[in-house]
Amino acid sequence: MTTKETTRRSRRGSGAITLRDVAKLAGVAPITASRVLTSPERVSPENRQKVLDAVQRTGYVPNRLAGGLASARSRLIAAVVPSTVMSVFMETIESLNATLFDAGYQLMLGQSGYSPVREELLLEAIIGRRPDGIFLTGILQQGKGRTRLLASGIPVVETWDLTPNPIDMLIGFSHQDIGREVARFLIGRGRRKLGMIRANDERAGRRAHAYAAAATQAGLPPITDIDVGASRSLKSGREALRALLEQNPEVDAVFCSSDLLAIGALTEARARGISVPEQIAIIGFGDVPFVADMVPALTTVHIKGANIGRLAAGHLIDRAEGRDVDQPVIDVGFTIIERETT
């Protein structure tokens, strides 16, 4: 009775039920209760039942902050995306999240907003949470962010791109190949005056370069390239087609850096009575869910976004659980889906 185990302490704490409470109620040591929840097979059926009953009765929900701190495994995965609204990446995030959740991991979402400054801050915030893995949309070439990530030792998977020197794991495809193949595709269908409408992000830039190079290599005149800046809206697609036609009225094919821009171009073409694909062929990028069912259905470059998410989740989980990843770099490729606009 003079022992201190019933002593008031209580100047801190959230007041929530703890593992201690559960263990006390079940009449076992805290570690036994802990084992019931993490490796039930290592506890006798009787004790297991007692603990589970206590959990039920108290409505106990384990504090993963504490668990993560003690075990150095947060079961948190962080994902960085440039943007979430109408973004081609969300399919990837959705499957990433679903796969992670089923394996007992939680997703933290960060938006870099296409800004390097913000990305820097974001990475610091992320590392502070000690996630078991980090998912990056795109790749991270040199810079402070890359250094920090490397130093953190946290498993990283870069995606939606390819690079000879990934930080760690990589699941993507070649933007250069896409640009080249789209050019060949259009040329193969008799197009000769190629145009491009694109947002000014780095990946779209690489697609554009390869596209232009392939055109030149085929002996065509230089492509007409319209940069819409940061905006990826349907509206800027419309405006861009207008600008494109002004610069080069003879253009007979346009590669757009996103489906939304392509729909904008398509809309503008229709508004001007330009027939697609007869006078102008239009091809998008991303194959967002609804472009297949429009009239005319959009020809576009399909990326298996959900697949990227699933693979990335698998890799990250493997690494988090100490398993080796046999194929740390995967090229998931792409497909040009021909529909009615080419």
Question: Which residues bind to a copy of itself, rule: CB under 8 A?
Answer: 12-16, 59, 61-66, 68-69, 72, 74, 76, 83-87, 90-91, 93-94, 97-98, 101, 104, 106-111, 113, 122, 124-130, 148, 151-153, 233-235, 238, 260, 263-264, 267, 270-271, 288-290, 292-295
Residues 279-298 close enough to bind DNA by CB under 7 A: none
Residue 86 binds what, of a copy of itself, DNA, none (CB under 5 to 8 Å, by partner type)?
Answer: a copy of itself
Using the rule CB under 7 A, give the single segment among 15-23, 104-112, 254-262, 330-338 that binds DNA. 15-23
Cis peptide leading into 62, omega within 30 of 0? no
Q: How far apart are CA 299 and CA 292, in angstroms?
A: 8
Axis-axis angle for helices 234-247, 259-271 (nearest 10): 60
Q: How far apart are CA 312 and CA 187, in angstroms?
A: 35
Question: Closer to a copy of itself at the Cβ: 81 or 215?
Answer: 81
Q: Could you say whether residue 29 binds DNA (CB under 7 A)?
A: yes
Using the rule CB under 7 A, give the single segment among 55-63, 175-183, 274-282, 334-342 that binds DNA. 55-63
CB of 34 to DNA, least distance (A): 3
Bridge partners of residue 2, in order along the sequence: none
Cα-atom radius of gyration of the chain, to the nearest Å? 27
Question: Closer to a copy of itself at the Cβ: 128 or 190?
Answer: 128
What element of type H or E holds 135?
A: strand 133-137
Residue 18 binds what, of DNA, a copy of itself, none (CB under 5 to 8 Å, by partner type)?
Answer: DNA
Q: How far is C-alpha 81 from the chain's CA centre?
A: 6
Residue 317 in contact with residue 303, Cβ under 8 Å?
Answer: no
Residue 271 binds what, of DNA, a copy of itself, none (CB under 5 to 8 Å, by partner type)?
Answer: a copy of itself
Which of 25, 28, 316, 336 touches DNA (CB under 7 A)? 28
CB of 316 to DNA, least distance (A): 19
Q: Could you tell me the sign of the dihedral formed by the alpha carbons of 99, 103, 106, 110, in that order?
A: negative
Residue 289 binds what, of a copy of itself, DNA, none (CB under 5 to 8 Å, by partner type)?
Answer: a copy of itself
Q: In this structure, how many other beta carbons lie within 10 angstroms of the beta carbon of residue 53?
A: 13
- Provide DSSP, 205-268: HHHHHHHHHHHHHTTPPPPEEEE-TT---HHHHHHHHHHHHHH-TT--EEEESSHHHHHHHHHH
Residue 34 binds what, of DNA, a copy of itself, none (CB under 5 to 8 Å, by partner type)?
Answer: DNA
Which positions touch DNA (CB under 7 A)?
9-16, 18-20, 28-32, 34-35, 37-38, 41-44, 46-47, 60, 62-63, 66-67, 69-73
